[in-house]
Structure 1
Amino acid sequence: MGGAFLAAAVLARVGRRIGLPTIPLFILAGILLGPHTPGIVLVADPHELEMLSALGLVLLLFYLGLEFHLDDLKTGGRKMVVAGGAYLVLNVGAGLGFGFALGWGTSEALVLAGVLGISSSAIVTKVLVDLGRLGDPETRPILGIIVVDDIFLALYLAALQPVLSGADSLGAAVTDGGKAFGFLLVLALAARYGIRVIGKLISTRDDELLVISFLGAAVLVAGISEWFGVADAIGAFMVGLMLGNTSSGERIRKLVHPLRDAFGAIFFFAFGLSIDPGDLPTVLWPVLAAVAVTLAMNILSGIATAKVYAFGPQAAANIATTLVARGEFALILATMAAGAGLNERLSPFIAGYVLVLAVLAPLAAGRSHWLARLLPGRPEPALAPLPRTPVP
């Protein structure tokens, strides 16, 4: 664990000096020091960091929830659903078509629809943090699309699991989906009506007790979410959404920073450990084709979202490039596909596709002004960050 932290830190320091984002460097550290490359093998079994990696994902999504205010949901609900729906139609639809075009099988096409269609909440969050864009106006629709994606993903995984595992009946599949949806509904109702009670329960002047309380709540609800068939990341997000709207929200945001950064680095490092570079050449052309499809669909969805929110080309470019990342949910689908005995080319394809976009997305987001010059519409003046209104 110590070696993983230091390796990630050294590569990130070197990268920062030449202007590279930290995410692909954390992943590169995992690849170079993992079991699939020659030289020093720091972690022989990627599963040794599995719990720490899961904690990193939970904290990244918990922080995302802290930054997403309930006022954003109330004031932008309809626009958020329209923008998120357009994103899903374009990307999931293109992913399904791409999967059938490859000819690897129907189950494989359904997996690829999710792989190509769902953006990485963890990487998107890290990109927004690294670029200092959490207060920008276009960040609200970006987070809204992520929320719609995550809700869709919960239902999608619940529906896909019986298909891959060969559920005995339609009734079993419906039961699993209903259980996941019911739990999401309970979390949503708690976020909507239970803020005052939750605020009183979490409130304390002692920072040590506050850290223990919010960390325990985030991890516990994430684990319960997984038991109900909902991605653990969504449970952590909902806890962050609840706590961020309490009187302790601002203190929690400050206290979670070092935890988020440290374990977030481990999450990306562990992702790198799972990649075998030797498998990538066999799926090179499908990976490049999938990346091209994803870039095209994200540009279209960025333009569509900008029209919904009356933004200009720069905001459209920011939305398109920030959401292009694919990551943790694609890896979940890769694990499910491997367990179901699907086409053996699927796992290296997903690894290569995710790696390319994990590297490309932060670089593209930091240079989105290049894309903005090519998009239709009048260039807008620099967008001022929106002030944060403290919650009483």
Structure 2
Amino acid sequence: MHDATPLIATLVGGLVLAFVFGALALRLRLPVLAGYLVAGVVAGPFTPGYVADAHIAQELADLGVILLMFGVGLHFSLKDLLAVKAISIPGAAAQMGVATGLGMLLGWWLGWPPAQGFVFGLALSVASTVVLLRAMEERRLLDTDRGRIAVGWLIVEDLAMVLALVLLPAIGGFLGAGHDGPAPTVGALIETVAWTIGKVVVFVALMLIVGKRAIPWVLQTVSASGSRELFRLAVLAIALGVAFGAAHLFDVSFELGAFFAGMMMGESKLSQRAAEETLPLRDAFAVLFFVSIGMLFNPRILVEQPWVVLAACLIIVVGKSLAAFVIVRAFGRPPKTALTIATSLAQIGEFSFILAGLGVSLGLLSSQARDILLAAAIVSILINPLLFVALDRWIARHDADTPDDHPDMAGHTVLVGHGRVGRRVLAELQAVGARTLLIESDEDAVRELRARGDVEVVVGNAAAAPVLAEANLAEARALIVAVSDPFEGGQIVRAARALRPDLPIVARAHSPECVGHLGGLGASEVVYGEQEVARSMFAAAQPKRESTH
């Protein structure tokens, strides 16, 4: 038997432990992220037993972040980014300033040098890409106004941290880092800032001028070859290649490079297919990201410095979020949007760890301060899903208290989802004059449908009981679940069946396994797309019988 290499051992160990503890967390009705983090703690060097290679785990996690940001870029256009710049740029800058100031205040109270307080506070100010996007994707918020603001905010934080990581070594002398030799001059510092900003500008310009045309063209050319394998390889090569090139040629972060690669690929008509091809890899490597965080955690810090860890957590979860809420409300956005942004930012992650590691290497941050930061990060990541659950309940209550726009709705068909299939189902229902109520979570789509005025619409997650109650499922004629994700569809079917045991429920599936899954959860009928296409093609190929007179 061959001895497992560190790469294989880390990959297998991380995924197996993540599965075991993730399933256990789900069984205990805890956030599945908690299970992934515990898996990392078990695989880390601070607990007995199996120890994974931390360096390899971090590199695998970096791949997850790259693919995740690439996926976000696929669904995000330059127009979307520019549409939220008025709130994202000043909002992110102000929120980072508040969090950094609170971190410096905590450092002053603990007697830390000002430089250590500054680096510590700056690390507290930036949210985790993976945690934020996971929460947004689970709630299908990325294509909403709230989601676009959050992603725009994230991009501004990313750019700020790119600048900070480049400038920190240059200004280490000014901040008191223990360097041998003379401290850098102000002129050298200005030159470093200008050079860094210039490289970022060149990269962005190159992507907007060359990448916007070249990337869709490559994708279209490869697609014309008819090879699905080559198409998938092209998507991954572009995502990883642009991210790598951005980091090594322009000193731009992997995440930002991948985001722009995805955004330029989004100009192609094949962007939806590209997103589907990379989804399995994105999910697998995102799991490894949380495992890698757990591996960094030293539980001893909770015993040695519990109050300092608590204070850092309060800055992240309360101070930073409160600042974001006030900023978003100051821009005239509704409470729902402000609370969503505040909740999204109530955690810290990958950039915080990179900054902390650089701070320690420069002598600006002590190892104890880094351990406090890691502990606060893990606690905030564990708390964040619970905050989103509370937010979902508040929104459901708030929407339930809103005057009912359809009080007399009865004998109607409830349609969930207004995607490619949902649009066609809605058109068919309207063609036969069937009274229809649509449930959709995309707020922009809801606004457009309400402006049309030809269908009743409920906004929200159809798996939530308050949303189904608002759709008056008790008096509905049927429920059609047209969402593409079988797991999301299964949650909706199960919730609807619990509320109305006799309701006819029709769901869609992409495979025979999904047919069994949805049927087992209570769907009356499951439409398997490929099977229906095959039947139609067979019927169309049959010779037409001539009528006899």
Structure 1 residue corresponding to 2:231, chosen from 206, 210, 213: 210
Go from structure 1 to structure 2 and tell me whether the alpha carbon gap of 1:68 and 1:169 turns closer, same or farther (over 3 Å shift): same
Q: CA deviation at 1:78?
A: 1.9
1 or 2, which has the higher strand percentage?
2
Structure 1 residue corresponding to 2:102, chosen from 82, 88, 94: 94
Go from structure 1 to structure 2 and tell me whether the alpha carbon gap of 1:272 and 1:24 turns closer, same or farther (over 3 Å shift): same
Indicate the residue corresponding to 2:282 in structure 1.
260
Q: TM-score under structure 1 normalisation?
A: 0.88
Q: Confirm or deny: 8 A CA contact 2:347 2:380 kept in the other structure.
A: yes
Structure 2 residue corresponding to 1:201, chosen from 199, 218, 238: 218
Range that drifts further, 253-262 or 341-350: 341-350
Query: Which residue identity lines up with residue 353 of structure 1 in the other structure?
Result: A
Query: Which residue identity lines up with residue 117 of structure 2 in the other structure?
Result: A
Indicate the residue corresponding to 1:386 in structure 2.
444
Q: CA deviation at 1:214?
A: 2.7
Q: TM-score under structure 2 normalisation?
A: 0.64
Go from structure 1 to structure 2 and tell me whether the alpha carbon gap of 1:97 and 1:371 turns closer, same or farther (over 3 Å shift): farther
Q: Confirm or deny: 8 A CA contact 2:100 2:118 kept in the other structure.
A: no
Structure 1 residue corresponding to 2:375, chosen from 326, 343, 352: 352
Q: What are the ranges of 5 or more consecutive residues in structure 2 without an aligned counterpart? A: 1-10, 405-439, 449-549
Q: What are the ranges of 5 or more consecutive residues in structure 1 without an aligned counterpart? A: none
Residues in 1 aligned to 2:402 and 2:98: alpha-carbon distance in whole angstroms: 25
Indicate the residue corresponding to 2:526 in structure 1.
none
Residues in 2 aligned to 1:95 and 1:245: alpha-carbon distance in whole angstroms: 41
Indicate the residue corresponding to 1:124 in structure 2.
132
Structure 1 residue corresponding to 2:352, chosen from 322, 330, 345: 330
Higher radius of gyration, 1 or 2: 2
Q: CA deviation at 1:356?
A: 0.8
Q: CA deviation at 1:259?
A: 0.8
Query: Which residue identity lines up with residue 169 of structure 1 in the other structure?
Result: P
Q: CA deviation at 1:172?
A: 4.4
Residues in 2 aligned to 1:324 and 1:245: alpha-carbon distance in whole angstroms: 32
Q: Confirm or deny: 8 A CA contact 1:317 1:372 kept in the other structure.
A: no
Query: Which residue identity lines up with residue 267 of structure 2 in the other structure?
Result: N
Query: Which residue identity lines up with residue 16 of structure 1 in the other structure?
Result: L
Indicate the residue corresponding to 1:169 in structure 2.
184
Indicate the residue corresponding to 2:245 in structure 1.
224
Indicate the residue corresponding to 1:186 in structure 2.
202
Q: Confirm or deny: 8 A CA contact 1:325 1:357 kept in the other structure.
A: yes
Q: CA deviation at 1:233?
A: 1.8
**Secondary structure in 2 matching 1:345:** helix
Matches within 5 A, 1:304-383: 304-308=327-331, 310-311=333-334, 313-341=335-363, 342-369=365-392
1:202-222 deviation line (CA, Å, top 9, x unaligned)? 322233223222322332333
**Secondary structure in 2 matching 1:367:** helix
Q: Confirm or deny: 8 A CA contact 1:61 1:237 kept in the other structure.
A: yes
Range that drifts further, 164-173 or 251-260: 164-173
Q: CA deviation at 1:373?
A: 11
Go from structure 1 to structure 2 and tell me whether the alpha carbon gap of 1:262 and 1:132 turns closer, same or farther (over 3 Å shift): same
Query: Which residue identity lines up with residue 196 of structure 1 in the other structure?
Result: R
1:332-362 deviation line (CA, Å, top 9, x unaligned)? 0121122123323112111111111111112
Residues in 2 aligned to 1:41 and 1:218: alpha-carbon distance in whole angstroms: 33
Residues in 2 aligned to 1:250 and 1:261: alpha-carbon distance in whole angstroms: 17
Indicate the residue corresponding to 2:269 in structure 1.
247
Higher relative contact order (CA 8 A, sep 6+): 1
Q: CA deviation at 1:158?
A: 1.7
Residues in 1 aligned to 2:319 and 2:403: alpha-carbon distance in whole angstroms: 23
**Secondary structure in 2 matching 1:242:** helix
Residues in 2 aligned to 1:265 and 1:196: alpha-carbon distance in whole angstroms: 33
RMSD: 2.8
Identity of aligned residues (%): 26
Indicate the residue corresponding to 2:256 in structure 1.
234
Q: Confirm or deny: 8 A CA contact 2:100 2:121 kept in the other structure.
A: yes
Count of residue pairs brought into register by the alignment: 384
**Secondary structure in 2 matching 1:364:** helix
